[in-house]
Amino acid sequence: MFDDKKDDIFLSRWVNGDLSPEELNEFQSHPEYEYYMKILAGADTLDLTEYDVDTALRNIKSNKQTSSNKTSKPVIKLWPYLAVAASIVIILGLFLFNTNDSFATSYGEQLTVILPDGSEMILNAKSEASFDKNNWDANRNISLEGEAYFKVKKGSKFTVTTKNGDVSVLGTQFNVQSQASFFEAVCYEGKVSVTSKQENTILTAGKAYRNITNTPPEHWTFVAQEPSWITNTSSFRSVPLHYVFKELEDQYNISINIKNPDININTIYTGTFPNNDMNIALKTVFSTLGLQYQLLQNGKTVVVEN
């Protein structure tokens, strides 16, 4: 387990690429990992000019020979090195005193983050979240873009803020998804308060809320114990087709190109696809829709032909 106070050589092993895959994976989930990455990146940008001692000595001797009548001692200018040292101090200061923790996932990636109070946040693919760690005890507030599942320890008010609405709890398990004009909150345990642009509502365990722009807000009940994407399955309940296509793109880093203008991307879709097998995922979605598709040789573009 990463502990920079107990393992004095841990960080040097990390910089040298000597960590085991297990150690690296655990370190990457540590709340301080992003700061060490920023410090390392900042240090790499410094231009440390090497000091040529031999040349300097020759110059000193030469100056002494041509200025034998002078009694002043040669002066070595230290300011360039002091400037470098000051730059390092500034870089460290910027990151050590930065109070925001930010996390982001790439295509098909999940990231588990243990929050300062022991609560757990799991980010789905192509999602971003940030919070103020130094003010966490007084203000448990997380800004989210994308999708995340939360297991919240009991304590002060815990709020997930998105551009489409907020979800607040005291201690519970819930999922929030917010992207473009789509906002959804699902409560798996306890009780959550949802505030959107359209309405305020309370969700208890087994209840869900969704709001999509230009459609009436939806409420429904369910029996699942956690979101399906946690176990690598994307599930959809009566959502416009273009959200399904976006999830395919986010999970597999592909681009879906609709050739036929008659295909209605607002068609309502209900179904699932796996997040760990692209071929099966594509077949599952497009066969359900009765559509033909072609994956181009670059492996990144899906052309829907009819």
Contact present, 276 and 248 (Cβ < 8 Å): no
* Listed residue (102, 124, 133, 114) closest to 34, CA to CA: 102
Summarised one tens digit per residue, pLDDT across range 201-258 is 999 999 999 999 888 999 999 999 999 999 999 999 999 999 999 999 999 999 999 9
Residue 5 is encoded by which pair of tokens? 């106070």
Average pLDDT over residues 177-198: 94
pLDDT for position 230 = 97
Tokens 């179904």, located at residue: 271
CB contact set of 173 (below 8 Å; sequence gap of 6+): 149, 150, 151, 152, 187, 188, 189, 190, 226
pLDDT in tens, 11-70: 667 766 777 877 777 777 776 666 566 555 545 544 444 445 455 555 555 555 544 444
> Where are the chain's structural domains?
101-221, 232-304
Q: Which of 20-24, 100-104, 127-131, 169-173 has the lowest average pLDDT?
A: 20-24
CA atoms within 13 A on the CB side of 47: 1
Is 198 a residue whose pLDDT tops 60?
Answer: yes
Residue type, 117: D
232-304: CATH class = alpha beta
Burial class (CB in 10 A: 0-12, 13-18, 19+), 194: buried
Pull the structure tokens for residue 36. 């060490």
Of these ranges, 53-57, 136-140, 259-263, the one predicted with the greatest mean pLDDT is: 136-140
What does each C-alpha distance from 99 to 11, 88, 130, 134, 213 come to in angstroms? Answer: 21, 19, 10, 6, 34
- Tell me if 212 sits within 8 A of 182, measured CB to CB: yes
Out of 1.10.3720.10, 2.60.120.1440, 3.10.20.30, 3.30.565.10, the CATH code matching 101-221 is 2.60.120.1440
Alpha-carbon span 106 to 179, nearest angstrom: 15
pTM given for the model: 0.68
Residue 188: pLDDT above 50? Answer: yes
